[in-house]
Amino acid sequence: MNTEKTIFPPRPPIGAPGDWHFPTPTRSYLDNGLEVVSYHLPGQHVIAAHLVLDIPLSAENRDLEGVATICARTLDEGSLRHGGEEYAELLENEGAGFGIDVSLSGLQAILDVPASRLEAALALFAEAVVEPALADDDVNRHVQLRLAEIEQAQANSAQQASIAFRSTIFDPESRTSRMNGGEPETVAKITGAAVRRFHLEHFGPVGTKLIMAGDLPADPLALAERYLGSWALPDQQTPQHLTAQPAPRQVKIIHRPGAVQADIRFGGFGIDRNDERWAPISVASYAMGGAFLSRLNAVLREEKGYTYGVGLNFSPMRTGGSFAVQGSFRTDVVADAIEEARQLLDITGRPFTPQEVDDAITFFTGVSPLRFATADGVADQAATQFLAALPEDYIDRSLAAQRAVTSESASAAYASLVRPDELSLVVVGDADQITEPLRAAGFTDLVVETPDGSRG
């Protein structure tokens, strides 16, 4: 029997974690005005490339809203050089994925590809953006898909509540008040000619950024020059970004006969990330409705059992924004749940505690290194910052601002924005069951909208 004693080396000292920072890019411009933003991330062998076009949805003709979405969705259906099936096969052979993102502030074409296949995939990516076929048949197919998508969304109670809340919070004359992908009556009018005209007027290099992140080649600028350097649009239009405007307070029920639960959106007009209150309101909203045991969830889910989950979300835009308590509740407790939520939202006499603030700050500072641990996470955030008119070091500034939040500053920011008696309310549910209880709870000015569009 071996009785020798095993001797282990001493445990190395463990120091405090170092400060994390968002990566710093290299920036260059091509002669045609395209800006190339490169994040070199060694070891990230899947490259994320986002071509971000400064084309706000306010650029759409009012009668053709949705044309930007249809144009973006049709980009990878083939180019002038390669037909649809051939193009798809060539892209697949490179192991590449092509995606798009459409927001109120702009459009993105997104490429994900192994680093070893970047050059060939970037050539195909450039084809799709600069010289897409935008054939009538492909456009018509995407129009029909979008119309079906809208119909499906309207059949879903939660999505219907979000759509209705958006139209309730923002001025009805504003593009912000309507769906990004267009409404049924406008999407149905979109033709191949309209899509090609939109592309011809707006898809150009001026004001556009190519953001690349990952284990990049030694000279990513040369690649960009090779495949996007000749891109030109002499008459490129530069539409103005419009400032979102709030609508007057409204209270409405969207009637869904026989619904056994109701979806609520209870909130108002909010702020954007450039507002000095953004850091404290982020912390405050996490404490009120962003965590599993936040104030709203602790009472409405854990204590009362009214819902599987409820939250308070602030949604910033380039200018302005919105916020809402949102969740699904049993029909028989809807009025009680909303009244309870209204009382919880009032922090008069119950300001946020230092512990709640510390928990929120720990979450935000801890999750950021995880969110941006991949090339896609970095490129996506850089694109978001560009479209929101945020500085390059926004993440570092934001984390520093959040670390400085106190219970006093969080409570003050919250009280300046969330005034429970002034919030708009949208409820999607059985109006026959919930109208009178809501009126008894004090919502005497509510309006009921029926499936046929009438109001009462």
For residue 93, give both structure tokens. 């052979």
- Predicted pLDDT of residue 2: 60
Which secondary structure element, helix H or strand E, spans residue 262, and what is its range?
A: strand 261-270
pLDDT at 453: 59
209-214 and 35-40: which strand pairing? parallel
The answer to whether 424 and 168 have CB atoms below 8 angstroms apart is yes
Give strand pairing partners of 99: 110
Tell me the C-alpha distance between 379 and 391, whole Å: 14
CATH classification code of 26-228: 3.30.830.10
pLDDT of 3: 62
Residue 391 CA to residue 377 CA, distance in Å, equals 17
Averages of pLDDT over runs of 10 residues in the chain (456 residues) are: 70 78 96 98 97 97 98 97 95 97 98 97 98 98 98 96 97 96 98 98 97 96 97 92 93 96 98 97 98 95 95 96 97 97 97 98 94 97 97 96 98 98 97 96 93 60
Distance CA 207, CA 111 (A): 19
- Rounded to 5°, angle at Cα 405 from 402 and 409: 135
Q: Decide: residue 250, CB within 10 A, 0-12 exposed, 13-18 middle, 19+ buried.
A: middle
- pLDDT for the residue 291: 92
> What single-letter amino acid sits at 222?
A
DSSP 373: S
Say how far apart CA 53 and CA 298 lie, in whole Å. 42
Q: What is the pLDDT of residue 452?
A: 57
Asked if 399 contacts 360 with a C-beta cutoff of 8 angstroms, the reply is: no
Fold of 251-449: Cytochrome Bc1 Complex; Chain A, domain 1 (3.30.830)
330 within 8 A of 433, measured Cβ to Cβ: no
Distances (CA, A) of 380 to 109, 343, 345, 384, 419: 11, 38, 33, 6, 33
- Which residues is 322 bridged to in the sheet? 269, 315
**Extents of the domains making up the chain:** 26-228, 251-449
At position 90, the amino acid (one-letter code) is L
pLDDT value at position 326?
97
pLDDT in the model for residue 454:
60
SS3 state of residue 128: helix
Q: How confident is the model at residue 168, as a pLDDT?
A: 96
Q: What's residue 455's pLDDT?
A: 64
One fold for 26-228 and 251-449: yes
CB-based burial label for 155 (10 Å; 0-12, 13-18, 19+):
exposed
Cα dist from 187 to 182, 200, 321, whole Å: 6, 19, 25
Other CB atoms within 10 A of residue 143 CB: 24
Report pLDDT for 372.
96
The number of helices, as runs of H, and strands, as runs of E, in the chain is: 16, 12
Which residues are 246's β-sheet partners?
170
Predicted pLDDT at 450 = 82
Contacts of 110 (CB under 8 A, 6+ apart): 48, 49, 50, 51, 97, 98, 99, 100, 101
